[in-house]
Amino acid sequence: MTSSLDADLLQRLEVLEAAGLRRVRRPMDSPTGREVVVAGRRLIQFASNDYLGLATHPAVVEAAAQAARDFGAGSGASRLLGGSLRLHHVLEEALADWKGTGAALTFSSGYAAALGVIPALVSAQDVIMLDRRVHACCVDAARMSGAALRVFRHNDPDHLDSLLRWARRRPGTHRILIVTESVFSMDGDRAPLEALVRLKEQHGAWLMLDEAHAAGLLGDRRSGLSEACGVSGNVEIHFGTLGKALGAAGGYVCGSRTLVDHLVNRARSLIFSTAPVPAAAGAAREALRVVQSTGGRERCETLWNRQRDLIERCPGLSSSSAIVPVPAGDERLATSWSENLLAEGLAVPAIRYPTVGRRQARLRVSLTASHQPSDIHRLATALNLLRSPV
Ligand SMILES: *Cc1c(COP(=O)(O)O)cnc(C)c1O
């Protein structure tokens, strides 16, 4: 018997299907990495954010196992009750050290961190300025905060400037928070950080910078684009995830001790949620060590070599990060490209609305330090064939 709920939902799923927007999960029988096993087939994967291959790095895996043996499988309670294990504090000190800030705070995911942080900082009398392409977690958190939202054109400081002038003229505006990414998750391009910092200082606004796709990869200590641009000290709220280049799981905020003290009292996703599992904290702590080591530098160099190789072999593609978008436009075209590549043993996801705008579908190639030159050559050949006019 079909319940009325299921009947309703089936109808909605059919609408998605017809528009080429239905999403599915494919169970994977291997760890993430260069080569994965899906439905008994070996595939070369270009879909992972494990940019440095740290999710399977022996020392990182061992640190996760050791943390589980030392501290158990779960943390037992919220950080404010019984769950604030020494391991979480050790990780937070390492994060603050890495980013060069006074303190850090970890959450169970980047998504949870955004939902905790933004509403803890601004509310109804305040204004949030979002780059049009920021990640869904920052959009959702901004909406939850109750602050007035203004969206500036992607990477356009002039547009942001005019919105900041409007906000400062508006009677009653109290605080202004600017939220952007340093490297954008679906386009792989970089924010004009120097210009953004100049503007936020000129207008007395605060900057929250999401380094999800830059942390681990850019700067001398690989702490992100703000370090690479020399503006780390001008960013009030450094934000990111432990689940991408760091190969573990969790979200973090780095900033002043006062910021962290405030969040401990006001970030609801921290207060009302069980602390992250010990294994994730242990893995992230070790991953931070690897990232800052010579081995981390070498992994980054390999990654940039693979990226240059792909760009050189594929006319028309560009990127300044590990993410290489292959524009398709039409949702069904992107999906059929992805299926074609899959048939050749290459896993490259099609990214569609609502992750990107309607008719802005694309393949999103995610490169890692684990890819071999031959993987890049195979992918380039296949992509050039798909994209060439018949
Ligand atoms: C993945 C991602 C997040 C969320 O991090 P999780 O730890 O996966 O929840 C936030 N911002 C950006 C830009 C991301 O790509």
94's enclosing H/E stretch is: helix 86-99
Ligand 1: which atom is nearest the Cα of residue 243? 7
Q: What is the pLDDT of residues 156-206, one digit of tens each?
A: 999 999 999 999 999 988 999 999 999 999 999 999 999 999 999 999 999
Percentage of the chain exceeding pLDDT 70: 100
Rounded to an integer, the average pLDDT of 219-238 is 98
* Cβ-Cβ contacts under 8 Å for 69 (sequence gap 6 or more): none
Rounded to an integer, the average pLDDT of 336-359 is 94
CA 274 to ligand 1 centroid distance, Å: 19
pLDDT of residue 103: 98
Residues framing ligand 1 (Cβ under 6 A): 109-111, 135, 137, 181, 185, 210, 212-213, 241, 243, 251
CA distance 226 to 228: 5
Given ligand 1 and candidates 185, 323, 356, which is best to mutate, with the most ligand atoms within 8 Å of its CB? 185
Q: What is the pLDDT of residues 25-76, one digit of tens each?
A: 989 999 999 999 999 999 999 999 999 999 999 999 999 999 999 999 999 9
Q: What is the pLDDT of residues 333-342, one digit of tens each?
A: 999 999 999 9
Cis status of the peptide bond prior to 354, with omega within 30 of 0: yes
DSSP state for residue 52 in the 8-state scheme: T
CA distance 343 to 389: 20
Ligand 1: which atom is nearest the Cα of residue 137? 10
Please state whether beta strands 361-366 and 323-329 pair in parallel, antiparallel, or not at all (unpaired): antiparallel
* Protein residue whose Cα sits closest to atom 14 of ligand 1: 212
How many residues belong to the chain? 390
Ligand 1: which atom is nearest the Cα of residue 249? 7
Pick left, alpha or beta for residue 53 (phi over 0 → left; psi -120 to 50 → alpha; otherwise beta).
Answer: left
Side chain identity at residue 60, one-letter code: V
Q: What is the pLDDT of residues 79-121, one digit of tens each?
A: 999 999 999 999 999 999 999 999 999 999 999 999 999 999 9
CA distance 352 to 329: 9
Kindly list the catalytic residues.
Answer: 49, 135, 181, 185, 210, 213, 244
